[in-house]
Amino acid sequence: MGLEGSVAIVTGAAIGIGYAAAERLAERGARVVIADRNGAEEAAARLAARDLQVTGVTVDVSSPEEVAAAVGVTESIRGRIDVLVNNAGIYSTLEPKPFEQLTPQEWRQVFDVNVIGVFLMCQAVLPAFKRAGGGRIVNISSGVAFKGNPWMAHYVASKGAVISLTRALATELGRHQILVNSVAPGFTLSDGVHRNPTLVEGVRESSTRNRVLARDMAPADLVGAIEFFAGAQSAFITGQTLVVDGGAYFH
């Protein structure tokens, strides 16, 4: 399965990593649906202005009804679905704090989007994948799941859950020719992160210092891995997590 003519949904793609992924897949010939709570149609219009086949759909991935509607619209417009990139997540707006200060409400908010959102999107596209005879799921996890970073236990746990879900789905869905893999980025200077100067100040210097490739990481550094798992070259790879962090963690 190449990307030319394929149909891909990228969640959380109005800005940042998701937008960069949507742009790369569209440049490779995929017909891309940007799915986001805010700004989906505007982001799609920017790429469509470059003659790329991109449309936008507004969706809250934590809502079963909105997810079902977004997937239904995608299939009705594009006729099929071949690739799902689960990028939507809560991170840049979080306030780092000690574990004992976290509340159940904060845990539920993070898990509703970062984990339940992935579950709902995967479940919703499954019938379309089966009708198409296969598909690709690329989950965006995080290197923190391996390093166990402090002060964000709920976020770290949510990304660990995404990696475990990736493995479980790969095992269960392989008989349908559905490949499920994960990309685990390091600290990335995305649009959302730039909007939180406190986060940038607290994490940027230590992240860069601990990398073999001692520089800032940008969304463009991730799109090659996402494209790889979405395309033909990874046709015999499933259940894997590829850490992309400039050599901060060897996995």
Residue 1 has pLDDT above 60, yes or no: no
> pTM here?
0.95
- Quick one: which of 245, 138, 152 has its CA closest to 196? 152
Read off the tokens for 52: 């790329």
Q: How far apart, in whole angstroms, are the C-alpha atoms of residue 19 and residue 43?
A: 8
Q: Residue 1 in 3-state DSSP?
A: coil
- Distances in Å between the Cα of 137 and the Cα atoms of 5, 52, 237 are 17, 22, 12
Q: In the annotation, is 155 catalytic?
A: yes
Greatest CA separation for the chain: 51
In DSSP terms, 2 is beta-bridged to none
Q: How far apart, in whole angstroms, are the C-alpha atoms of residue 12 and residue 139?
A: 12
What percent of the chain stands above pLDDT 90? 87
Summarize pLDDT for 25-67 with one digit per residue, the tens.
999 999 999 999 999 999 999 999 999 999 999 999 999 999 9
Summarize pLDDT for 124-164 with one digit per residue, the tens.
999 999 999 999 999 999 999 999 999 999 999 999 999 99
CB 209 within 8 A of CB 150: no
Catalytic position from the list 19, 91, 155, 249:
155
What single string gives the DSSP state of each residue in 63-125? -HHHHHHHHHHHHHHHS---EEEE-----TT-----GGG--HHHHHHHHIIIIIHHHHHHHHH
Read off the tokens for 144: 């923190």
Instruction: Enumerate domains of the chain plus CATH numbers.
Output: 7-242 (3.40.50.720)
